[in-house]
């Protein structure tokens, strides 16, 4: 095994570019998944089964099929329908949508964990439904699920390399480009592999600490 | 779509299923080995097993695949057949996730059971095999079922390496027909059907194992509708 530090040095500027793109995709993807997941979770609580059934089926379909194929779908099909986005935008939307079907379950668990007394108190005070949700239920539900949502952010981080498949130059994209230009595969791929561990392991430790503080 | 293209898709399904079965087998072996090692009494064994889990859970499956395909041949001179390279990368990564499931299930067995085994002077291996695992394994099935679906989704990643799995055959058909919406819808539906069959299979397995361990299968917990709940 021959390790070439000069290749690492040459790769580092590309690495930072890639890291920036990865973090951008992660931040925007998380925001989309948090927002859309909440919408799914609320829709799943409507009394009408004509809403719940389609929402349940669609989200399960998105959850059980590979993100990679969904990326291809959005990347190649949307332009056919006349919607042209940049590769990064497409990737962010796909990742956010995919993970919204996971965060939806997290929200659901959080909403279910709010004590029944809170609902009864809201009814007793004859709060309208909108205020019951916005002022009573969701603030308590969301506080409980923050660590669980954080876990999905870490999971999302580990799925961002897939954006490479639709030409986004994230960390893996930069590493692949660099290795093809310089015929040095070992160093860039190892550097980004280590970088992922160095980001995700402290993040999960942080979440564990947060969980100890928030959930009880 | 012509029959030739369908043949391509069928070949892709077959590759995906093969890869799924092989990597699921490897991942199961890894998860039990590492998961049991994490409950070992020597700290060095626990540390090494924990290190393995954190490294493989910390990095991305796709990066592992790149690493096995590109770095392993250069660095160690091991050129693997694509099928085995894919199996290795997916099995090791998802095995690390599985190890956490095994560890959690082993830890959730009532401590009195283990103490009973000690009192009856079972060897540690007998305790594991005859007391802990029979009670822990049924509990592992629902999370393993989720993990299996994740693994199925993970198999699509090998298409990036040019392996002819279902996702890759979808790309080929798209190039041939220039009708992306249709072919990708088919591909997604096929993945969904496979995932559906897998979860059904795992549920059957859970029922059988729970019956074997003398427990009733978990009935679906119905969440009571809160008073005045629901978006109206």
A130 vs B220, more confident: A130
Does residue B222 sit within a domain?
Answer: no
Where residue B43 sits, what CATH number does that domain have? 1.10.3720.10
Q: CA neighbours within 13 Å on the CB side: how many for A113?
A: 16
The two structure tokens encoding residue B149: 């679906």
Interface-testing mutation among B54, B56, B154, B156, with chain A (most A C-beta atoms within 10 A): B156
Cα separation, B94 vs B137, whole angstroms? 18
Total domain count for chain B?
1
Predicted local confidence at residue B231, as pLDDT:
34
The residue behind tokens 């929402």 is A55
Does residue B226 sit within a domain?
Answer: no
B186 inside 8 A of chain A by CB: no
**Residue A59: which pLDDT band, with cuts at 50, 70 and 90?**
very high
Does residue B9 sit within a domain?
Answer: yes
Range of the domain at B177: 3-212
Does residue B230 sit within a domain?
Answer: no
Predicted local confidence at residue B218, as pLDDT:
55
pLDDT for A67-124, tens place per residue?
A: 999 999 999 988 888 888 899 999 999 999 999 999 999 999 999 999 999 999 999 9
Cα separation, B181 vs A126, whole angstroms? 49
CB A208 within 8 A of CB A151: no
B187 CB neighbours in chain A (<8 A) are 69
A82 CB neighbours in chain B (<8 A) are none
Average pLDDT over chain A reads: 90
User: Which stretches of chain B score pLDDT less than 50?
Assistant: 221-232
Does residue B227 sit within a domain?
Answer: no
- Among A66, A114, A193, beta carbon nearest to B153: A66
A114 CB neighbours in chain B (<8 A) are 226
The residue behind tokens 């699509």 is B156
The reply to whether residue A65 touches residue B195, judged by beta carbons under 8 angstroms, is yes
Predicted local confidence at residue A123, as pLDDT:
92
The reply to whether residue A158 touches residue B60, judged by beta carbons under 8 angstroms, is yes
Predicted local confidence at residue B156, as pLDDT:
93
Q: Is the dihedral of CA B99, B101, B107, B110 positive or negative?
A: negative
In this prediction the pTM is 0.88
Listed in sequence order, the residues at least 6 apart from B94 whose beta carbon sits closer than 8 Å to its beta carbon are B23, B27, B61, B147, B150, B151, B154
Does residue B217 sit within a domain?
Answer: no
Does residue B223 sit within a domain?
Answer: no
CB A159 within 8 A of CB B61: no
The two structure tokens encoding residue B147: 């993990």
Does residue B220 sit within a domain?
Answer: no
């Amino acid at each position: 095994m021959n390790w070439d530090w000069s290749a690492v040095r040459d790769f580092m500027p590309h690495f930072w570019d890639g890291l920036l793109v990865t973090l951008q995709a992660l931040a925007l993807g998380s925001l989309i998944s948090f927002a859309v997941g909440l919408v799914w979770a609320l829709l799943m609580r409507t009394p009408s089964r004509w809403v719940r059934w389609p929402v349940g089926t669609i989200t399960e379909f998105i959850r059980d099929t590979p993100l990679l194929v969904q990326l291809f779908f959005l990347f190649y099909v949307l332009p056919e329908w006349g919607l042209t986005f940049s590769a990064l935008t497409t990737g962010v939307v796909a990742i956010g949508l995919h993970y919204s079907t996971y965060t939806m379950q997290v929200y659901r668990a959080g909403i279910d964990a709010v004590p029944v007394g809170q609902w009864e108190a809201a009814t007793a005070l004859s709060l309208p439904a909108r205020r019951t949700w916005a002022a009573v239920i969701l603030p308590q539900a969301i506080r409980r699920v923050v660590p669980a949502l954080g876990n999905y952010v870490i999971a999302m981080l580990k799925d961002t390399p897939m954006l490479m498949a639709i030409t986004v130059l994230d960390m893996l994209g930069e590493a692949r480009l660099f290795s093809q230009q310089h015929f040095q595969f070992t160093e860039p791929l190892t550097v980004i592999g280590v970088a992922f561990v160095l980001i995700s392991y402290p993040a999960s430790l942080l979440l564990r600490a947060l969980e100890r503080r928030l959930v009880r | 779509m012509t029959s030739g293209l369908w043949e391509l898709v069928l070949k892709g399904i077959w590759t995906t299923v093969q890869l799924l079965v092989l990597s699921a087998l490897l991942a199961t072996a890894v998860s039990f080995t590492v998961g049991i090692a994490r409950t070992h009494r020597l700290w060095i064994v626990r540390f090494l097993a924990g290190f393995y889990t954190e490294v493989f859970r910390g990095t991305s499956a796709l990066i592992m695949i790149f690493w096995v395909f590109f770095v392993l041949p250069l660095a160690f001179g091991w050129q693997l057949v694509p099928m085995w390279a894919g199996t290795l990368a997916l099995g090791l990564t998802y095995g690390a996730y599985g190890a956490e499931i095994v560890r959690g299930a082993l830890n959730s067995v009532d401590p009195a059971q283990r103490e009973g085994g000690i009192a009856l002077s079972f060897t540690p291996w007998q305790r594991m095999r005859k007391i802990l695992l029979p009670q822990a394994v049924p509990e592992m099935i629902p999370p393993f079922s989720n993990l299996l679906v994740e693994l199925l989704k993970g198999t699509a990643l090998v298409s990036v390496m040019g392996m002819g799995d279902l996702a890759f055959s979808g790309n080929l058909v798209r190039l041939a027909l220039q009708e992306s919406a249709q072919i990708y819808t088919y591909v997604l539906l096929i993945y969904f059907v496979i995932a559906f069959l897998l979860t059904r299979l795992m549920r059957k397995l859970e029922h059988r194992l729970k019956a074997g361990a003398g427990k009733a299968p978990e009935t679906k917990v119905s969440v009571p509708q809160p008073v005045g709940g629901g978006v109206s």
